[in-house]
A and B are shown apart, each in its own frame.
Chain A
Amino acid sequence: MDLGFTAEELAFRDEVRHFFRTQIPESTRRKVLEGQHLSKDEIVESQRILNARGWAVPNWPVEWGGQPWSPVQFYFFQDEMQQAGVPGPLAFNTSMLGPVIAQFGSEKQKREILPRAANLDDWWCQGFSEPGAGSDLAGLRTKAERVGDTWVINGQKTWTTLAQHADKIFVLCRTDNTAKKQEGISFILCDMTAPGVTRRPIVTIDGGAEVNEVFFDNVVVPYENLVGQENKGWDYAKFLLGNERTGIARVGYSKAKIKRIRELAGLELDGTEPVINDPKFREKLATVEIELKALEMTQLRVVANEKNRAKGKPDPASSMLKLKGSEIQQTCTELLMQVVGPYIMPYQPEEEGRNEPLIGPDYAAVAAPMYFNYRKVSIYGGSNEIQHNIIAKAILGF
């Protein structure tokens, strides 16, 4: 045990920091740090810059573009990316679908899908949740029937994030009604442009439209769009959700948030005193910082422990990262509102080509919507109650 970083580790940190801060457009990074939405083009551009450097999919197997990094290198990569305000490579492509295809897909699927997913030539979205299947995902009812060389898909998905940008969707479908509910599910790929696929935006409480309903009405896809084996989709979905959770602590983003809150609290005046001079506020800020520092170390420990675990088996300890990480992210949004004060009130949705000036300081408009929007982080990716259940069962043995 040696709990300090080595000189090589610190040199790697400096290398990635320099890259992120010089190669990714400043305007994109500023938007991320200020909590504004990115356009599709900005997200694609950023991922392609990463991909050109070989860094869009470091978590994939090396033969498909992954990096043979140590846990500490992975940590610095992610941390520096997030602190610099670099949008992470699209999760649906890089941390969800990619690893599933690399592990369970056919050679043809690997060749056709992986390079395009890494370069964001195809934008994928995640068709798992349904109106009747949320936490109890295995209760899903969207059906795929084998007809000759094709699947015919009927049903509805919901909460599909950024489906408005998507070229393709990976869909969990029921393919056997007679089996136990986990054993009759298949993992099938589908074009968003296939006849019979329709999308309807869902407006969320912050006024945004990042999620959608997606309807399937007699959608026909080739049989070879099946990933792995028929009726084994639940195993792949579990594998995917396990991969999703390790990145979910978002320590670097929270660091950047706290930095910004601290800066704004130095600017925003309460009478003649900056908000940061209020000792009670400072204590709240210190409290989240301490939690975040501890979480950072916990994340390093969880990642370092991966080598001691069976490959591809998610570590239930990553549920702790989800719990604490979401709590901290949510607290940061509350602190930002507190800093801004009454000027969180004007509702000023983001618009292209706005010509009137914003009411209040330019950082005020996003504060309340971000607070509203971030309630999602304890709901999606397995709600925090479900994370408690996972830990209770898998770690504590209840």
Chain B
Amino acid sequence: MDFDLNDDQRLLKDSVDHLISDRYDFEQRKKYAQGPDGWSREMWAQYAELGLLGLPFAEEHGGFGGGAEETMIVMEAFGRGLVLEPYLATVILGGGLIRRASSGPQQADLLPQIASGELLLAFAQQERSSRFNLADVQTRAVADGAGWRITGEKGVVLHGDVAGKLLVTARSAGGRTDRAGIGLFLVDATDPGVTRRGYPTQDGLRAAEISFNNAAAVALGDPAGAIGAVEQVVHEAIAAICAEGVGAMQCMHDITVDYLKTRKQFGRPIGDFQVLQHRSVDMLVALEQARSMTMFATVMSSEPDAATRARALSAAKVQIGKSGRHIGQETVQLHGGIAMTMEYKVGHYFKRMTMLEMLFGDTDHHLKLVSDAGSLF
């Protein structure tokens, strides 16, 4: 085990950190958010140029051959910048699903298009009442010659409004929550059977409600056996958003400590009050515990044993959820009224953190999974 960055990792970190600090301050971010897509195509091109869009892919697919540690480095920086671009949707989820579920020729076709920045993807998985159960799928897939036809409703599809292709979970066999019978299908977003309604999310990112009405699709891998790959990719995505959360929490904490040292009341900096010092120490402890659990999630996201991996990722998600809520609420409280304004940065971290807690399962959901799964050790 080695916590120090190697040369390549240091280079990666330096370049991402620079990009975020030069191009992603709060005012710039506001401008990107007001653009037509709600994010910046120009930044997307920058990510492509830096190799970030192919980070986890093999070199033969135009990628960088990076592992989970490299993704962690990037996502943490994105968390600090409150990055708006569809990186999670396209690279982590979309690219992940193609890598884990599909055949060689599909990978060779699609992955280079992601890496170059041409292809945007979205993962249409959630349904109105499925909550966090990845196996709860009512959307149907029916064979149609060599291809498939998809019918059903998907909700809160991250960046589903702009994606060129949609990766859809749909059932080719079995009952509503059966693990068997679920396939993963690739649907062109411009297919006449696809209707989508995009909207902003609470944290200023984008999502869509998407209806499929007999939309033409191709299967990625086994049309009835994709659940394992879906879970694996969701685990990788959980590790990634844990890292994003750590970046956001780090910023909230830094900004809060600075504020306590500068804001004066009763004739002195409010940070002179021991109660506020101790509360900011508790925030730091929560942050460091979250960072530790993110590292654990990062190693465990490639664990081959599915049950061990699931338990570990759930444990990490619980920690991030708890730490994030604690740090978010305390950040607002310790700032006082200023933190309540849209004009001030910390509220935006707080909101992003709140959405991250909900994404791929909230704290109680994952706590239940861990507690039903037996010991973590």
Contact = CB atoms under 8 A, between A and B. Distances in A.
Interface of A: 1-6, 9, 72, 255, 258-259, 262, 279, 282-283, 285-287, 289-298, 300-301, 304-305, 317, 320, 323-324, 385, 388-389, 391-392, 395-398
Given A4-B1, A289-B315, A298-B292, A279 B371 contact: yes
A293 B293 contact: yes
B1 A324 contact: no
Interface in B318-377: 318-319, 367-368, 370-372, 375-377
Contacts of A286: 315, 318, 367, 370-371, 376
B372 A282 contact: yes
B237 to A, nearest CB: 18
Contact of A5 (B1, B271, B367): B1
B315 A3 contact: no
A1 B2 contact: yes
Given A1-B2, A291-B319, A324-B285, 13 more contacts: A1-B69, A2-B2, A255-B377, A290-B315, A293-B296, A293-B315, A294-B289, A298-B291, A304-B3, A388-B281, A389-B277, A392-B277, A392-B280
8 contacts: A2-B2, A258-B375, A290-B319, A290-B376, A298-B289, A301-B292, A391-B285, A398-B272
A354 B221 CA distance: 69
Contacts of B84: none
Contacts of B295: 3, 297, 301
Interface in B290-330: 290-293, 295-296, 298-299, 315, 318-319
A1 B12 CA distance: 12
A4 B299 contact: yes
Q: Which of A296, A392, A395 has its CB near the most chain B CB atoms (within 10 A)?
A: A392
B257 interface: yes
B288 interface: yes
B265 interface: no
Interface of B: 1-6, 9, 69, 257, 260-261, 271-272, 274, 277-278, 280-282, 284-285, 288-293, 295-296, 298-299, 315, 318-319, 367-368, 370-372, 375-377
A295 B377 contact: no
B1 A3 contact: yes
Contacts of B367: 283, 286-287, 290
A3 B69 contact: yes
Nearest to B373: A286
Contacts of B272: 398
Nearest to A395: B284
A301 B2 CA distance: 9
B292 A283 contact: no
A293 B376 CA distance: 8
Nearest to A280: B371
A298 B287 CA distance: 11
A396 B376 contact: no
Contacts of B280: 392, 396, 398
A296 B316 CA distance: 13
A290 B312 CA distance: 9
Given A283-B367, A396-B281, A294 B319 contact: yes
Contacts of A291: 289, 319
> Chain A binding site: helix, strand, loop or mixed by DSSP?
helix
Nearest to B273: A398
A52 to B, nearest CB: 30
A391 B1 contact: no
Nearest to A324: B285
A395 B3 CA distance: 20
A1 B284 contact: no
Nearest to B260: A398
Contacts of B377: 255, 258-259, 289, 292-293
A317 B281 CA distance: 11
A305 B4 CA distance: 9
B298 A3 contact: yes
A294 B371 contact: no
Contact of B1 (A279, A285, A300, A385): A300
A213 B367 CA distance: 46
A291 B4 CA distance: 24
B278 A294 contact: no
A199 B11 CA distance: 62
A398 B2 contact: no
Nearest to A282: B371
Contacts of B9: 1
Contact of A290 (B291, B298, B370): B370
Contacts of A72: 1
A291 B277 CA distance: 23
A297 B377 CA distance: 13
A282 B367 CA distance: 9
Contacts of B278: 385, 388-389, 392
A13 to B, nearest CB: 11
A396 B284 contact: yes
Q: Which of A286, A391, A398 has its CB near the most chain B CB atoms (within 10 A)?
A: A286
Contacts of A5: 1
B245 to A, nearest CB: 13
Contacts of A324: 285, 289
Contacts of B257: 396-397
A343 B141 CA distance: 58
A156 B49 CA distance: 71
Contacts of B271: 398
Contacts of B371: 279, 282-283, 285-286
Q: Which of A5, A283, A296 has its CB near the most chain B CB atoms (within 10 A)?
A: A283
B3 A1 contact: yes
Given A1-B2, A1-B69, A398-B271, A297 B281 contact: no
A290 B284 contact: no
B376 A6 contact: no
Nearest to A391: B281
Given A9-B1, A289-B376, A398-B271, A391 B284 contact: yes
A279 B299 contact: no
A61 B296 CA distance: 32
Contacts of B291: 298, 301
A285 B339 CA distance: 35
Contacts of A289: 315, 370, 375-377
B288 A298 contact: yes
Contacts of A388: 277-278, 281-282
A282 to B, nearest CB: 4
A279 B375 contact: no
B268 to A, nearest CB: 12
Nearest to A293: B376
Contacts of B274: 389, 392
Nearest to A393: B277
Contact of B296 (A258, A279, A294, A304): A294
A388 B2 CA distance: 29
A179 to B, nearest CB: 28
A182 B299 CA distance: 46
